[in-house]
Amino acid sequence: MMSYDPAVYSRILTGLTLGFHIIFATIGVGVPVMIAIAEFLGIKKKDPHYMLLARRWARGFVITVAVGVVTGTSIGLQLNLLWPSFMQIAGQAIALPLFMETFAFFFEAIFLGIYLYTWDRFRNPWIHFSISIPVIIGSSASAFFITIVNAFMNTPQGFKLAGRTIIEIDPLVAMFNPATPTKTAHVLSSAYMTCAFVLSAIAAIALLAGKRHAYYQKALKLTMICGLVFSVATAFIGDLSGKFLAEYQPEKLAAAEWHFETSEQAALVLGGVLGENNEIRYGLKLPYVLSILAFGNPNAVVQGLNDTPEDLRPPLYIHYFFDIMVVIGSLSILLCIAYLWYNRRSRLSQNRMLPRWLLRCIVWSGPLAMLAIECGWIFAEAGRQPWILRGYMKTAEGATTAAHVDWMLLLFSLLYMVLGFTVWFILRRMFRTNTPEEELAKRGMEGGSHV
């Protein structure tokens, strides 16, 4: 057992809470978009299948929102409990985006309540659809503002520090720091993307189980097309993020790529292990690619990790997280293209079947996309160690000095385990006991146009 160090336990506990929260936060940001798209298509095409899709997604969504809200409350309070010195200083510099995040959440909470309870209330279906717009604005805006807070920790600006007192804050300069554009865009697009794949995985499971209703085909097609659009956008923004890192946080990029010596025509390394003296073994080296990723020019000079003092270097394990994120992202795009190709072919043939291996891959794409979110997040956060406020405050200086953080870690681990299991159990039961076929029959919604 390690010796008691509140800073270490605070890091683990914050990581645990956030790691658990972002699963539900991602769903909270992306799924409303997918629900709205399905409802839009349902009204536009007068197709009850899409309407049912929107309803069923919304029903499961409520359960995940509840966990998202409570774990979000957890992390909100925990920031103060575990990082009091950090909040004393940063809390006021980033008070504005924190505030606006809460407003956005408030706005979303109000309209989500309205949306969920007015399905059959209005004669004109577009009125109900229009309520989904403020829900999307609220959830995406709250992700946007909270990501600004994180961007500020990576590239703090807009204030001066005199001892422990922070002076001359310029709220807008602090908010719109260099990390803001790429971080917020990447968080939003990757959340939309992940939800598209999670929902396509559900449709694929049903198709694999032998269900033949047109409902599932439509669900799969809709989610895979959205998945393609969002994953291409995510890859594009990811490239911009790489260029941001090269300019503002070169040590993070260098650690991610095990790029030690500053050099031009730098190679990108995939996989591999580090030997003694930091030589890379078994890795796949792609010459010039890192220079292109960093500056869009194969001959550009990329700063190496040796230029950063040893005590300010991020941990080298972030390389693996970076790789996993990028590989999953790239495979997702390929998967969507493969799906579209096979879907077109199956349309022309008689039995309209997609190959089972393709469906299996789609089932995997959901959890893998979520894994990519977690990896990307760990990469971004561990990559700015040892700083909590890059250039201003080390992580250990921000942590609480209180006793018993280890016991709190145990308490919260138990809580998240129980919540995780219950959500899984409830969602499964909810959708198994009331199948779409039963629901269609009950609502008299049989039919609808074909795929």
Partner 1 sequence: MNIELIGITVLWIFLYGYLIVASIDFGAGFFSYYSMLTGRKHLVHGIIERYLSPVWEVTNVFLIFFMVGMVGFFPDTAYYLGTTLLIPGSIAIVLLAIRGSYYAFSTYGSRDNKFYTLLYGGSGLLIPASLSIVLTISEGGYIVEHDNQVTLLYGKLFTSSYAWSVVLLALVSVLYISAAFLTYYADKAKDAKAMEVLRGFAIGWSAPTILSSLLVFFAIQNHNPEHFQNMMSLSWMFVLSFLCFLAATYLIWARKRLGSAFLLVMLQFAFAFFGYGAAHLPYIVYPMVSIHESITSPAMGVALIIAFIAGLLLLIPSLYLLMRLFLFNANYVQGKHHK
Please report, as residue ranges, which positions from 165 to 224 form the binding site for partner 1 (by CB under 8 A): 165-172
For 162, the enclosing helix (H) or strand (E) is strand 160-162
Question: Do β-strands 268-270 and 263-264 pair in parallel, antiparallel, or remain unpaired?
Answer: unpaired
Say whether the peptide bond before residue 386 is cis (omega within 30 degrees of 0). Answer: yes
Contact 289, 270 (CB under 8 A): no
Q: Shortest Cβ distance from residue 174 to partner 1 (Å)?
A: 9
Exactly one of 84, 125, 181, 386 binds partner 1 (CB under 8 A); that residue is 84
Q: Shortest Cβ distance from residue 132 to partner 1 (Å)?
A: 14
Residue 135 interacts with partner 1 (CB under 8 A)?
A: no
CA dihedral 282, 288, 293, 297 (to 10 degrees): 170
Residues in contact with 225: Cβ distance below 8 Å, sequence separation at least 6, in sequence order: 336, 340
Contact 346, 353 (CB under 8 A): yes
Query: How many residues sit close enough to partner 1 to count as binding (CB under 8 A)?
Result: 77
Rounded CA gap, 435 and 98, in Å? 41
Residue 111 interacts with partner 1 (CB under 8 A)?
A: yes
Exactly one of 4, 44, 62, 285 binds partner 1 (CB under 8 A); that residue is 62
Residue 117 interacts with partner 1 (CB under 8 A)?
A: yes
Q: Shortest Cβ distance from residue 26 to partner 1 (Å)?
A: 17
Residue 67 interacts with partner 1 (CB under 8 A)?
A: yes
Q: Shortest Cβ distance from residue 92 to partner 1 (Å)?
A: 5
The three state secondary structure string of 108-132 is HHHHHHHHHCCCCCCCCHHHHHHHH
Q: Shortest Cβ distance from residue 190 to partner 1 (Å)?
A: 24
Exactly one of 16, 63, 225, 338 binds partner 1 (CB under 8 A); that residue is 63
Exactly one of 35, 48, 49, 78 binds partner 1 (CB under 8 A); that residue is 78
Residue 100 interacts with partner 1 (CB under 8 A)?
A: yes
User: Residue 205 has which token pair?
Assistant: 């499971």
Exactly one of 23, 34, 53, 112 binds partner 1 (CB under 8 A); that residue is 112
**82/359 with CB nearer partner 1:** 82
User: Residue 398 has which token pair?
Assistant: 């921000």
Rounded CA gap, 315 and 301, in Å? 22
Residue 12 interacts with partner 1 (CB under 8 A)?
A: no
**92/262 with CB nearer partner 1:** 92
Q: Applying CB under 8 A, which part among 111-119, 257-265, 329-337, 378-386 lies near partner 1?
A: 111-119
Residue 286 interacts with partner 1 (CB under 8 A)?
A: no
Q: Shortest Cβ distance from residue 250 to partner 1 (Å)?
A: 31
Q: Applying CB under 8 A, which part among 104-112, 228-236, 293-301, 368-376 lies near partner 1?
A: 104-112
**Nearest alpha carbon to residue 61 among 26, 104, 32:** 32
Rounded CA gap, 263 and 240, in Å? 21
CA dihedral 364, 365, 367, 368 (to 10 degrees): 110
Contact 320, 258 (CB under 8 A): no
Rounded CA gap, 420 and 114, in Å? 27
Q: Shortest Cβ distance from residue 440 to partner 1 (Å)?
A: 18
Rounded CA gap, 226 and 224, in Å? 5
Q: Shortest Cβ distance from residue 409 to partner 1 (Å)?
A: 10
Please give the single-letter amino acid code of residue 435: T
Per CB under 8 A, contacts with partner 1 among 383-412 are 400-402, 404-405, 407-408, 411-412
Per CB under 8 A, contacts with partner 1 among 415-444 are 415, 419, 422-423, 426-427, 429-430
Q: Shortest Cβ distance from residue 73 to partner 1 (Å)?
A: 6
Residue 95 interacts with partner 1 (CB under 8 A)?
A: yes
Q: Shortest Cβ distance from residue 21 to partner 1 (Å)?
A: 11
Rounded CA gap, 35 and 136, in Å? 10
